[in-house]
Amino acid sequence: MTASLPSPASPLKIGTRGSPLALAQAHETRDRLAAAFDLPQEAFEVVVIHTTGDDAALVAKDRPLKEIGGKGLFTKEIEEQLSSGGIDIAVHSMKDMPVEQPGGLILDCYLPREDVRDGFVSPALSGWAELPEGAVAGTSSLRRRAQLLNRRPDLKVVEFRGNVQTRLKKLADGVADCTFLAMAGLNRLGRSDVPATPVAPEAMLPAVAQGAIGIERRESDSAVAGMLAAIHDAETAKRLAAERAFLATLDGSCETPIAGLAELDGNTLRLRGEVLRPDGSEAIAEDASCPVEDGAALGREMALKLLERAGPGFFDWRG
């Protein structure tokens, strides 16, 4: 392995988006690898790759993600660079990742998972129960929109895209009375200044894989595989196996409001899943447990149960 380790003269190239959160995740990956192999930071090069999802014009238009290309918006250009050898690994927010990887690429390394909860963000309020009737909530998430309207059908929900800084500015400008941000992102950015109140999963089940960082590599790159094995978090992998199997069986795109969360207690895995109509008029949920090794099978089984319960017509709006 020693001969294959990166060095300042021949650094390992880490591909990432250029947002502050994406860079924080890339730096965490670099620092974990450097610590695991006693290497200097200069043995790694963070390569910023502009993705379609980072297009400022698209963000400014506040169009729903499903209208401008779905999850692949944040990964396509990075994966092209990985496939062509322009970078050695790619660091992703797992909640942005499609359930299938391009041929020749594999995603089998996860860092320890952060806080999975959503954060309710408001300068003056600590939860949506405090919002006056008809208040405006801003979110770019189809899941959060549907869940909020299911709990508070009187609210108005507007499209709200952009990174943490952009969304906070929109809030300050009065575009909405509140918004939602993942607690994991705020923690990784050290943004304790953001007025965010964590929302319990019982009130708002998070997105599948929320709070998890995944590292993608070329399937044929055994040297990189050996390095990544040293920083891989097995518990996160077991949880995501169940959640992503659930997502893949249901839909896997950004066109369906889907929530899912797997948690471990010893050798037992608990999975909660929810599907909703986009307008929040109906929500269907399941909650089940199984041995950890059966997590992926439970995810598929739960998805099929929800599809059966939803019945014909539930997903007709997808067209």
What are the residue numbers of the active site? Answer: 96
Helices (H), the chain: 20-37, 56-61, 76-84, 142-151, 164-172, 183-189, 222-229, 234-250, 295-310
What does the alpha-carbon distance between residue 161 and residue 176 come to, in Å, rounded to a whole number? 12
Strand, helix or coil at 111?
Answer: coil
What does the alpha-carbon distance between residue 96 and residue 200 come to, in Å, rounded to a whole number? 21
- Secondary structure (DSSP) of 13-79: EEEE-SSHHHHHHHHHHHHHHHHHHT--GGGEEEEE---GGG-HHHHHHT--GGGTT-GGGGTHHHH
At 115, the amino acid letter reads D
